[in-house]
Amino acid sequence: MHSAGPGVFGVVRLDRRSLLAGSLAAALVPAGGQPAMAALEYPLRRPLSADRRFSSPAIESEISRVSGLIGDPELAWLFGNCYPNTLDTTAEVGVIDGKPDTFVITGDIPCLWLRDSSAQVQPYLPLARNDPALRTLLRGLISRQARSILIDPYANAFMRNPAAKTDLPWALSDKTEMKAGVAERKWELDSLCWPMHLALRYWQATGDAVPFDALWAEGARASIRTMREQQRLDGPGPYRFQRSDTNAIDTLMLDGLGAPTKKVGLIHSMFRPSDDACTYPFLVPANLFAVAALRGLAKVASEARGDADLASLANDLATEIDFALSRHGMMDGPDGQKVWAYEVDGFGNTLLMDDANVPGLSSLAYLGAVDRQDPLFRRTEAACWSGRNPYFFRGKGGEGIGGPHAGLGMIWPMSIILRAM
């Protein structure tokens, strides 16, 4: 996911003893239909009700319910402020062609990332079945993602106004086919997987077929065509990208095509979910995610639309990738047993590492791309959380995985959270 800086979220030092002596109910006092932090040690960090971009009674009820189950008042306060943050600060709900349209900015940048927007709304899916307003927001996001993919399936980030040109300073001079509505055009395979993942999770949570209309199906077909194109079985395809930058992980070699590969059926991804360039273009966790996402897409196409043709297109590609992964996606681990590689090139070159961003090797079970108890995954996870991973760090304060985007010696908290999940 796109990374933000440390931010300006003020964390006050808490007198834990005195606060734990009181009850949580005393710290969380309902006022005006919304939770309010009565104790000065627990100030409300949410925008005022009138300034929130989206409000949902179901979300407010869930905050009260979960907070009441948390024994530590500080954690309850943290949950109450953080859980609704996407809705409070990043979601813009409107209408296009008489249908809901939802634009979810990534947080620190006023643009929509396909990956980030899909992940940001995941915590709200269980509540959507019984909250019409929340369903409207999610329908709008699914439609916005389809429209964005149809603008350019190779782009990772989009502008609010589809007629606007990018205003991201680092993307203004990129050597690639920039189109109106595109904020950044880094081809990341997982960017097309996340909307499929969201579609499946929404369908499973709500049974609502409304967002899976002709627009959605057109976007899904464009995604499958692009994935096929990036198997590069019949040539390199149309995508090129170069950026004038002192940071080597922001650009691609060989006139913007990336490192050489052998045609083995895997899908190329020029950039990782961190927006960093791949060393070898077959990013294994993204391909594993693609298998699961495509099968999920097939399920939605079949059950919500009765679209057997679209389901077949998705399943056929998933089967091809799955087979190619079984042949080319693994390497020898520390004990000589097979583990998933992070990246491969089809020629036999492999890279063992992991990055905290999702999808990574350690987050495959969270995404449903592998079984958590699968021995191959367990061996891979163990290797990633060890000295074999150059971006695994351990110190007096803890241990975790970072990545090139964060820098050496830096643990990205997301890796610790995902390990717990």
Residue 315, sorted as left (phi over 0), alpha (psi -120 to 50) or beta, turns out to be alpha
pLDDT block averages, 10 residues each, the chain of length 421: 34 31 34 42 88 95 96 94 97 96 95 98 97 98 99 99 98 98 99 99 98 99 99 97 93 97 98 97 99 99 99 99 99 94 98 97 97 98 96 94 93 93 86
Residue 140's contacts (CB-CB under 8 Å, 6 or more residues apart) are: 93, 94, 99, 100, 101, 102
**How high is the pLDDT of residue 43?**
85
- pLDDT at position 40, please? 52
In whole angstroms, give the CA distance from residue 313 to residue 224. 7
Distance CA 209, CA 218 (A): 15
pTM of the model: 0.90
Report the C-alpha gap between 273 and 291 in whole angstroms. Answer: 17
Query: Nearest 5°: CA angle at 196, between 121 and 307?
Result: 130
Cα 78 from Cα 59, distance rounded (Å): 15
Distance CA(304)–CA(164), nearest Å, equals: 33
At 12 the pLDDT is 29
| Domains parsed from the chain with CATH numbers | 16-87 (no CATH), 90-328 (1.50.10.10), 329-421 (no CATH)
Q: Which residues pair with 104 in a beta bridge?
A: 91
What is the model's pLDDT at position 246?
Answer: 86
